[in-house]
Amino acid sequence: MDLLTQPVGVAHFMAVGAVLFVAGAVCMATKRNALGVLMGIELVLNGANLNFVALGSEYLRRDTALSLGADGNLIALFVIVLAAAEAAVALAITLNFYNNHSTVDVDRADDLRG
Amino acid sequence: MEPINWHSFFFLLFGALTAVFAVAVVVTSNVVRMAFYLILSLGATAGLFFLAGADFVGAMQLMIYVGGTLVLLIFGVMLTAQGPFISMKTGGGEWVLATIIGGALLGLLVKTAFSVEDWQGPAAVAHVEGEEEHAAALPAQSPTSAPIGLGLLGVRTDKLDPAKAELAPGMAGYLLPFEIVSVHLLVVLVGAAYLARTKKRREA
């Protein structure tokens, strides 16, 4: 089994990141619960983080001089912090919506529909 | 039979956990289970970060994401998961369309990821009987906390001698983004606390 005996590279990490990203995008598109949409957003951001960290690692490439180094890790840190902030605001909005409409179904959020 | 590369074994383990629980978040219709599967998926992602050598980011992922953001999400789930809202189902047609488009995107991304020669991984290690194996040019210790901390203060210790001298002024640290994110967090916390406050009920 080639994957078990040979070292893994950036491409393998990016493949897992792609699965996370697509799962998050499908979650955002299909869930009716507003909190489900938020979880999709978290998945998407984590997929992107995995990409950044993989590209910034020196252990996963053929030519280690090309890795992003600390840049990849720092950008991933900023993404984590900003995702946490955005999750807090989105949850506050969802709670407000729930308090006003007694539902978290996004299909019922059509007050502004023309 | 070649010896198992344990780094690859653990990558496969954590990668499989991440992917399976991420797909479980999409597939399940119970919002409480979705929250729990998301915690497991993000925890496995932290494991992947550690395997890539980014120990600081991995620790931050566990602390901020699993220990903070997801607890917040679970509070939100608990506050709004009253009876009829725990399982809201999506129509079948939407699932088919989403799966087709998602599958196409996934195929495209994976194919692109594996198309770059440099990203296939460090040179394959050949195993000769009775000889120590040498992976091609393993980097000497890569400490991540110190360069990250100093980078946030404006000093790039890993880029002290840039290859092109004229690019040196641009390789400043991350002090400005650090300050911006700090103010951003303050604004977000004040805003979220204000938005989610309990409002006085109007007497009928």
Pick from B82, B100, B104, B84: which is nearest to B92 by CA? B100
Answer with the one of B139, B161, B191 that is the final residue of a domain.
Answer: B139
Q: What are the helix (H) ranges across chain B?
A: 6-27, 31-51, 55-60, 70-80, 92-113, 145-153, 175-195
* Residue B145 tokens, joined: 């906390």
Q: Which of A12-16, A40-44, A85-89, B93-97 has the lowest mean pLDDT?
A: B93-97
Q: Pick from B34, B94, B114: which is nearest to A11 by CB?
A: B114
Q: Pick from B38, B56, B116: which is nearest to A11 by CB?
A: B116
CATH code, domain with B68: 1.20.120.1200
Do residues B200 and B119 both lie within one domain?
no
Give Cβ neighbours of residue B139 (< 8 Å, ≥ 6 apart).
Answer: A58, A59, A64
Do residues B87 and B21 both lie within one domain?
yes
Q: Global pTM?
A: 0.88
Q: Which of A65-69, B1-5, B61-65, B142-146 has the lowest mean pLDDT?
A: B142-146
Do residues B17 and B68 both lie within one domain?
yes
Do residues B134 and B80 both lie within one domain?
yes
Domain topology for A8-108: Helix Hairpins (1.10.287)
pLDDT value at B59 more than 90: yes
pLDDT value at B130 more than 50: no
Residue B1 included in any domain: no
pLDDT value at B128 more than 60: no
Number of domains composing chain B: 2
**Structural domain span for residue B158:** 143-204
Residue B125 included in any domain: yes
Residues B37 and B51: their CA atoms lie apart, in Å, by 21
Do residues B12 and B104 both lie within one domain?
yes
Local structure of residue B145 (DSSP, 8 states)? H
Do residues B154 and B129 both lie within one domain?
no
Domain boundaries, chain A: 8-108
pLDDT value at A88 more than 60: yes
Residue B165 included in any domain: yes
CB A82 within 8 A of CB A94: no
Residue B151 included in any domain: yes
Answer with the one of B139, B166, B184 that is the final residue of a domain.
Answer: B139
- pLDDT at position A63, please? 79
What number is the ipTM of this complex?
0.92
Do residues B99 and B183 both lie within one domain?
no
Gap from B141 CA to chain A (nearest CA, Å): 10
Query: For the residues A27-35, what does the mean pLDDT come to?
Result: 91
**Measured between CB atoms, does B50 come within 8 Å of chain A?**
no
- pLDDT at position B160, please? 67
Choose the mutation target among B2, B101, B118 for the interface with A, i.e. most A CBs under 10 Å: B118
Residues B2 and B8: their CA atoms lie apart, in Å, by 13
Residues A19 and A48: their CA atoms lie apart, in Å, by 11
